[in-house]
Structure 1
Amino acid sequence: MFYLILFSVIVYLLYKWAIKDHDYFDKIGLAYEKPYPLVGNMLDIVLQRKPLMDMIEPNYYRHKKDKIFGFFNFTRVSYYILDPEIIKKITIKDFDHFVNHSDEITNADNVFNRSLFALHDKEWKDMRSTLSPIFTSSKMKMMYGHLSDQATNFVKHYEEKAKKEDNLIVEALDTFARFTADGIATSVFGFQTDCVVNKNSETYKIVQKMLHDFLGTIGVLKTVFSFGFPKIYNMLGLQITSREIYDFFKRVVIDVMDERDRKNIFRPDVIQLLLQAKKGQLKTEKENELNEKELTNFAANIEYDLGSKINDASHFTQDDWIAQGFIFFFAGFDTTSNLLQMTCYELAMNVDIQRELQEEVDEQLNLLDGKTISYEALHKMKFLDMVISEALRLWVPAPQVDRACTKDYDIELGNGRSVTIKKGQVINIPIQCVHHDPEYFPEPKKFNPYRFSDENKDSIIPGTYLPFGMGPRICIGSRFALMEAKLLMFNLMSKFNVEKCDKTPEKVTYEPNLFFRIKEKIYLRFKLRK
Structure 2
Amino acid sequence: MAFGTLLLLLIIILVSGYYFLRQHYDYWIRQDVPQLEPSLFLGNLGGLLSMQSNPADFIAQLYNHPDAQDKPFVGIHVFHKPALLLRDPALIKRIMVKDFPKFANRYSNSDYKGDPLGSQNIFFLKNPAWKEVRLKLSPFFTSTRLKHMFPLINEVGCNLDAYLRQQPLHNERARCFDLEAKELCALYTTDVIATVAYGVQANSFTQPNSEFRRHGRAIFEFSWKRAAEFTLVFFLPQLVPYLGFKVVPAEPTAFMRKTINYVIAEREKSKQPRNDLIDLLIDFKRSSKNADNQFVFEGDILVAQAVLFFTAGFESSSSTMAFAMYELARNPSVQQRLREEIKTALIASGGCVTQQLIESLEYMQMTLQEVLRMYPPLPFLDRECTSDNGYSLAPFHKFRVPKGMPIYIPAYGLHMDPQYYPEPRQFQPERFSARNRKEHTPYTYMPFGLGQHGCIGERYGFLLAKVGLVYVLRNHLVTTSERTQRRMKLDPKAIILQAAGGIHLRLVRDSLGV
TM-score (norm 2): 0.90
Find the counterpart in structure 2 of residue 40 from structure 1.
43
1:529 equivalent to 2:491? Answer: no
Partners in 2 of 1:141 and 1:319 — Cα distance? 29
Which whole-Å deviations, capped at 9, do the CAs of 1:84-132 have from their partners, x for residues lacking one? 1111111111101110000456678432111101111101111111111
Find the counterpart in structure 2 of residue 216 from structure 1.
223
Partners in 2 of 1:105 and 1:71 — Cα distance? 22
SS at match of 2:24: coil
**Which segment drifts farther, 148-157 or 417-426?**
417-426
Partners in 2 of 1:168 and 1:473 — Cα distance? 42
1:495 equivalent to 2:495? Answer: no
Which whole-Å deviations, capped at 9, do the CAs of 1:337-386 have from their partners, x for residues lacking one? 11011101111111011111111101111111133x22233112111111
RMSD: 2.4
Find the counterpart in structure 1 of residue 81 from structure 2.
76
**1:361-372 alignment runs, 5 A limit:** 361-371=342-352
**1:28-177 alignment runs, 5 A limit:** 28-61=31-64, 62=66, 63-103=68-108, 109-161=115-167, 166-177=175-186
Q: Is the 8 A contact 2:364 2:466 kept in 1?
A: yes
Alpha-carbon deviation of 1:227?
Answer: 6.1
Partners in 1 of 2:476 and 2:355 — Cα distance? 22
1:245 equivalent among 239, 249, 252: 252
Code of the residue aligned with 1:111 in structure 2: it is L
Alpha-carbon deviation of 1:529?
Answer: 1.1
Partners in 1 of 2:150 and 2:208 — Cα distance? 26
Change (3 A) 1:227 1:460: closer
Partners in 2 of 1:231 and 1:96 — Cα distance? 23
Number of residue pairs matched by the alignment: 497
Code of the residue aligned with 1:102 in structure 2: it is Y
Which whole-Å deviations, capped at 9, do the CAs of 1:462-508 have from their partners, x for residues lacking one? 11111101111001221211110010111222111111111111011
Change (3 A) 1:90 1:477: same
Change (3 A) 1:426 1:19: same
Find the counterpart in structure 2 of residue 199 from structure 1.
208
Change (3 A) 1:3 1:504: same
SS at match of 1:154: helix
Change (3 A) 1:58 1:528: same
Find the counterpart in structure 2 of residue 389 from structure 1.
369
Partners in 2 of 1:502 and 1:75 — Cα distance? 45
Alpha-carbon deviation of 1:241?
Answer: 3.1
Unmatched segments (≥5 aa) in structure 1: 282-309
TM-score (norm 1): 0.88
**Which segment drifts farther, 419-428 or 198-207?**
198-207
Unmatched segments (≥5 aa) in structure 2: none
Change (3 A) 1:227 1:448: closer
Alpha-carbon deviation of 1:37?
Answer: 1.5
Code of the residue aligned with 1:332 in structure 2: it is G
Alpha-carbon deviation of 1:518?
Answer: 1.9
**Which segment drifts farther, 96-105 or 332-341?**
96-105
1:185 equivalent among 182, 194, 199: 194
Code of the residue aligned with 1:195 in structure 2: it is S
Code of the residue aligned with 1:392 in structure 2: it is L
Code of the residue aligned with 2:203 in structure 1: it is D
Change (3 A) 1:204 1:238: closer
Change (3 A) 1:32 1:160: same
1:518 equivalent to 2:499? Answer: yes
Code of the residue aligned with 1:175 in structure 2: it is L
Change (3 A) 1:96 1:229: closer
Alpha-carbon deviation of 1:53?
Answer: 3.2
Q: Identity rate of aligned residues, in percent?
A: 27
**Which segment drifts farther, 333-342 or 259-268?**
259-268
